[in-house]
Amino acid sequence: MNQQYRNVFAEMGIPEDAVSKRLEEIKHQFFYGEDSFYHETGADMAYLEDTGNFDARTEGMSYGMMICVQLGMKEEFDRLWKWAKTYMYMETGENEGYFAWSCGTDGTRNADGPAPDGEEFFAMALFFAAHRFGNGEGIFDYEKQAKDILRACLHKGEKGRPGHPMWNRDNHQILFVPGSDYTDPSYHLPHFYELFAKWADEEDAVFFKEAAAVSRRYLALACHPETGFSAEYAEFDGSPMKRPIPWTTDRHDWFFSDAYRTAANIGLDYAWNGIDVGQVRAAYRIQRALLKDMRADSYHIYEVDGKIAGEKALHPFAITATVAQSVLAVEPDDVAREWVMKFFGMPLRAGERRYYDNCLYVFAFLALSGNYRIW
């Protein structure tokens, strides 16, 4: 596991003081600027608002916590965690031990189901907080809270406990939702699973270690051999999930919003662990597949083979950020340099869709500046 963190911006010739200054500007804009979607409520809570859907999601809440722990922002971390634990955490029923994936900004639940990417990020952010800030009491005993989350994720349905786990315990793959028989490539976080194997309950160490290895092999299969694109939802063999879904008629077998995160995850995993079983090829491929579109500032919705499947992408800033982050997995060349320089010169997004783009923007800036670290 790598404890040396590359500053790719500096490698590209950007002065380190310019990188540090820009990071401070991003930190202020994200949390306290005019276009911030971080909102404090009451004396000790806060939420991140999905500005396109006008709700708070476990995705955003857990992302916000990870950003806070990476930036050393303990007060904001605790505010977000208390809001999530107060309004999102489910103490009874089939999903007890999980978090409702969407709530109104007043805390009213919009759903009683969880989204596993939220639980993954909650657990990892809490472990990092335990090591960086130190454990407190009650819900601020971060390490205990992280272990409780992962215990539920793996062991629901056992010994009379209601509900379904978030991992398929037979093939070690994270599920799109508990009880489903397919996955989401962007949920596969082998760099987190390596750490869960060290810090979760000892009895689950072997499972998480194998899950890390499985996810790397899975990502090599799920990313198209020419474009590097993954689908939003996919079968356990990596192929795009084309089956109908009961609650929507929307497509999820193409390279669209969720899928942008996959390349970024490959980059961060390689930066932390340096293990390649074939998944790193996707980083090279996606950088080239989208190069002309990046230069033209015009991304579309794509089939995984690269054919244009829809009008302009809803989250173009997210595409630039995540492909730039994938540079962490490659030997820098002229194409990689172009992505990094394009990203460094790109502002945070303004407007209605800024929430998702700007979360991924901050992750990419942290990663490329050497500030997305194992704590």
Find the catalytic residue in 232, 258, 269, 303.
258
Name the nearest CA neighbour of 282 among 295, 294, 302, 265: 265
Q: Which two tokens stand for residue 246?
A: 């009961």
Q: Is 55 a catalytic residue?
A: no
205 CA to centre of own chain? 22
Cβ proximity of 302 and 226 under 8 Å:
no
47 alpha carbon, distance to own chain's centre? 17
Strands 45-48 and 38-41: antiparallel
> Which amino acid is it at 81?
W
Q: Write down the catalytic residue from 59, 253, 269, 357.
A: 59
Pairwise CA distance, residues 233 & 306, whole Å:
17
Cβ distance 1 to 273 under 8 Å? yes
Token pair, residue 143, equals: 């390490």
Closest alpha carbon to 101 in 148, 371, 87, 252:
87
Active site residues: 59, 258
